[in-house]
Amino acid sequence: MERLALRSRLKPGAEQVYDREHATIPAELEAAMREHGVRSWRIWRDGLDLFHVVEVEDYAAFQAAMKDDPADRAWQEKMNRLLDGDFDKDSAGLRQVWEMT
């Protein structure tokens, strides 16, 4: 099991929209994430900074499995308009900040 810390950032002024739209995760997205090895994914917001703590069987395998998932594509499109810099699923995904033991 990998336990990772990741970071992303909101566009200035997107805080309220993010909080409202990110209050619930679509059931089909959560099901796909669990199917591909995610045990937990928590996000905290501090101003514009989003800190993610992820517990997953294998993060690289998870990213590869989710790459073309329709529920994840729709979610990323929705979230990209709020992020400072697009999340490109065809790149390496969110940058790993550190791995926790």
Q: Which token pair is 70?
A: 């329709």
User: What does pLDDT average to in each consecutive run of 10 residues of the chain (101 residues)?
Assistant: 88 95 92 95 92 91 91 89 68 51 49
54-60: long-range contacts, CB 8 A cutoff, minimum separation 24: 54/2, 54/3, 54/4, 54/5, 54/6, 55/1, 55/2, 55/3, 56/1, 56/2, 56/4, 57/1, 57/2, 58/2, 59/2, 59/4, 59/96
pTM confidence score: 0.78
Maximum alpha-carbon separation in the chain: 36
